[in-house]
Structure 1
């Protein structure tokens, strides 16, 4: 029974015959423009360059244009289960946290600074809010923050 089915050859349908006929007619034809080098583009007059970016007073400097960032931290700072205090005066709250050159520094109200290795830049970025101002000098920033 299966041998009989295999021996039967199917004749191509009408659509298959039409496709084969069309294929043989188009076999030696080349589409227009095929193999022809592309035309030279027309010369275009130079247009005036318009600066569509924000005006300078509204631009925010990128991280590589800043010497550092700082934020106030008024509550006690607890790291690894212990409260951080100033190594010189013992203050444990009202910090300025400074981020500069992938280092974090703590500055107490008295002006003592100490590097904090348990905090990294990612921690700083998660806990800091948006910058409300940029300053030319460190002292200008301290004055802005009331220090």
Structure 2
């Protein structure tokens, strides 16, 4: 059986195969008139102006590496390792501002005392923080905005 297939492959192409190949070669170079019309329609009549499609500067939100830090209010008590976190300065245990800066978490009480909380990390902050509602140029502006 395989010897018949090999003989067929080595034999000269038949007259029908030769005509088929010639016709196919002629058709490859031809393009239907409908295609030429579509190509002409797709060409722009005049060059279009380049427009910057990025947001204007007043609507852009700075990325996390452009900010010195982020903060959010936290009204309820913070419990870590079955222990309620209290302020080392005044003993307050609720109404915190949680600051995330340089991969550190800081807690700020309503009296203005700050303490670093090493049991919290940036991943915890990102899970619990909502979307930012404002950006501020200074730390004091942000404190005023959050009511501290």
User: Please, what TM-score do these two structures have when normalized by structure 1?
Assistant: 0.71
Which residue of structure 1 lines up, in the alignment, with residue 5 of structure 2? 12
> How much does 1:21 deviate?
4.0
Partner residue in 1 for 2:99: 98
Number of residue pairs matched? 117
**Aligned position for 2:119:** 118
Q: What are structure 2's unaligned runs of at least 5 residues?
A: 19-47
Q: Please state if 1:139 is matched with 2:140.
A: yes
Structure 1 pair 81/13, CA: closer, same or farther in 2 (3 Å)?
same
Stretches of structure 1 lacking an aligned partner (at least 5 in a row): 1-7, 26-46
Distance in 2 separating the partners of 1:78 and 1:56: 41
Check 1:20–1:124 CA distance in 2 against 1; reply closer, same or farther (3 A cut): farther
Aligned-partner Cα distance in 1 for 2:94–2:11? 87
Aligned-residue Cα RMSD (Å) equals 2.6
Question: C-alpha distance in 1, partners of 2:66/2:102?
Answer: 12
Q: Which residue of structure 1 aligns with residue 110 of structure 2?
A: 109
Q: Cα distance, 1:49 vs. partner?
A: 4.6
CA–CA distance in 1 between the matches of 2:90 and 2:62? 35
> Alpha-carbon deviations, 1:128-147, whole Å to 9, x = none?
00000000000000000011
* TM-score, scaled to structure 2: 0.70
2:53 maps to which residue?
A: 52
**Pair 118,11 (structure 1): closer, same or farther in 2 beyond 3 Å:** same
Compute the displacement of 1:95 (Å): 0.2
Give the secondary structure class of the aligned counterpart of 2:134: coil
